[in-house]
């Protein structure tokens, strides 16, 4: 799947907005910037690399072919995000973490059903999601937490290297043990990437069971 690179998933959602409602969405974005507590639930989600909402007006679309302005009826809002985990995990975490924030950011989008109930919100995202044709990830084997853990280890090692030349053996041993204790939760293996699609996993399991049953049937027939 082109949306996936290692442990990361790229999401792009393009939703139409009536031009007369675009100013409302701009005003709501301003409110979110002035009162950032609306995003406190989002900032606490460690699986998210970043999330961004961009308003694209009818006259702002590129014209690479030089054909002039296109006849577009709607403005659009483009949502971009990178995250670790599965699609369902991400949507569930978003809806649980900032349900009011989601309603704020998609308020002006056409036929937006609100984030609760979650089933209609997922259907809305699915209907408007654009698949990623090419997705580059500089650290495909590492999640956001893995990278932060690696940076903590790096800082501690650099600090130990600085102390090594100026400390005696006992002082350095104490500093080493102290650093090791601080890094206890940062030294684990990053592990494997999560399964991107539970439907795919279930299909693989069903296929294996079918093949196993088919082989057993043939063996019983020739026994």
CATH (domain of 100): 3.30.70.100
Q: Are residues 11 and 121 in the same domain?
A: yes
Dihedrals phi, psi of 77, to nearest 5 degrees: -120, 130
Check: CB of residue 147 under 8 Å from CB of residue 49. Answer: no
Buried b (16+ CB within 10 A) or exposed e, 63-76: eeeeeeeeeeebbb
State the pLDDT confidence band at 202, using cuts at 50, 70 and 90.
Answer: low
**pLDDT of 163 higher than 60:** yes
Q: Are residues 118 and 152 in the same domain?
A: no
> How many structural domains are present in the chain?
2
Structure tokens at 95: 């809806």
Q: What residues form DSSP beta bridges with 81?
A: 11, 51
Q: Are residues 123 and 174 in the same domain?
A: no
pLDDT tens by residue, 55-110: 999 888 887 777 777 778 899 999 998 888 888 888 888 788 777 778 888 888 99
Buried b (16+ CB within 10 A) or exposed e, 96-131: ebbbebbbbbbebbeebeebeeeeebbebbeebbee
Q: Are residues 80 and 106 in the same domain?
A: yes
Specify the DSSP class assigned to residue 5: E
This prediction's pTM: 0.71
Q: Are residues 118 and 168 in the same domain?
A: no
Structure tokens at 216: 């057993």
pLDDT tens by residue, 16-60: 999 898 888 888 888 877 777 766 666 667 778 888 899 999 888
pLDDT tens by residue, 104-156: 888 889 999 988 888 899 999 999 999 888 888 888 778 888 888 999 999 99
């Amino acid at each position: 799947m082109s949306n996936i690179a290692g442990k990361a998933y790229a999401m792009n959602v393009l939703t139409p907005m009536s031009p007369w409602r675009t100013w409302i969405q701009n005003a709501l974005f301003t409110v979110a910037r002035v009162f950032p507590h609306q995003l406190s639930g989002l900032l606490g989600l460690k699986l998210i690399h970043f999330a961004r909402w961009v308003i694209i007006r009818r006259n702002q679309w590129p014209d690479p072919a030089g054909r002039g302005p296109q006849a577009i009826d709607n403005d659009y809002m483009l949502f971009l995000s990178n995250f670790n985990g599965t699609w369902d995990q991400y949507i569930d975490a978003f809806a649980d973490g900032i349900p009011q924030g989601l309603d704020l950011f998609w308020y002006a989008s056409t036929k937006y059903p609100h984030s609760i109930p979650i089933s209609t919100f997922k259907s809305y995202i699915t209907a408007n999601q654009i698949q990623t044709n090419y997705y580059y990830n500089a650290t495909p084997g590492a999640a956001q937490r893995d990278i932060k853990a690696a940076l903590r280890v790096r800082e501690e090692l650099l600090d130990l290297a600085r102390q090594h030349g100026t400390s005696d053996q006992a002082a350095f041993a104490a500093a080493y043990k102290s650093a090791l204790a601080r890094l206890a939760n940062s030294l684990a293996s990053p592990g494997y990437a999560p399964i991107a699609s539970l439907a795919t996993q279930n299909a693989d399991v069903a296929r294996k069971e079918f093949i196993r049953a088919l082989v057993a049937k043939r063996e019983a027939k020739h026994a």
